[in-house]
Amino acid sequence: MQPDGEEVWNEIETQSFELAEQCIKTNYYGVRGMVEALTPLLQLSDSARIINVTSKLGLLKNIPNGRVKGLLNDVESLTGDRIDEILKEFLKDFKEGLLKTKGWPTQLSAYTVAKAAMNAYTRILAKRYPNFHANCVSPGYCKTDLSANTGYFTAAEGAEGAVRLALLPDGGPSGFCFLQKEMLTYF
């Protein structure tokens, strides 16, 4: 039997270290691993696209820690190793109960940090592979089992932004974050 939306949200909002670690592994390292596994195939394409699904929660304005925000926003010197260091620091602070003290988000903290890390990684990809189109998109708050069907958009409406990015002509934007169909000028 599938859990209902309320049970899912209760589990998501429960912030244990183990769940935070799992969230980071899924929402950042899972994406990164998949992209790295598929990159050799994408390099064979004349019009490679990487579209990472993000959330408005992953925008840097949701991370109070100014140093971390600055590091994730500095695409010129940002590396995958630097993101790894930031995530290790987050998990250490989480485990020690120092989220608020160290300037991390306190609500849905692991999800927020994982999505911010993924957004930054997407910008690294755009720089590393200039022939690719690497972007991230937030589908918005969609009516799904995860949201207990309380979202504003249908799943089909939420998917429109990702599909649109996948079908962009060559020469389109790369290294950007989109909120549905709107290209954001900030991360």
Please state, as a whole number, how many other Cβ atoms lie within 10 Å of the Cβ of residue 47: 14
Catalytic option among 111, 121, 141, 186: 111
Whether residue 28 lies in the annotated active site: no
CA distance 68 to 60: 9
The token pair that represents 71 in the structure block:
């590091």
Rounded Cα distance between 24 and 29, Å, is 7
Helices (H) and strands (E) in the chain, counts: 7, 4
Catalytic residue numbers, as ranges? 111
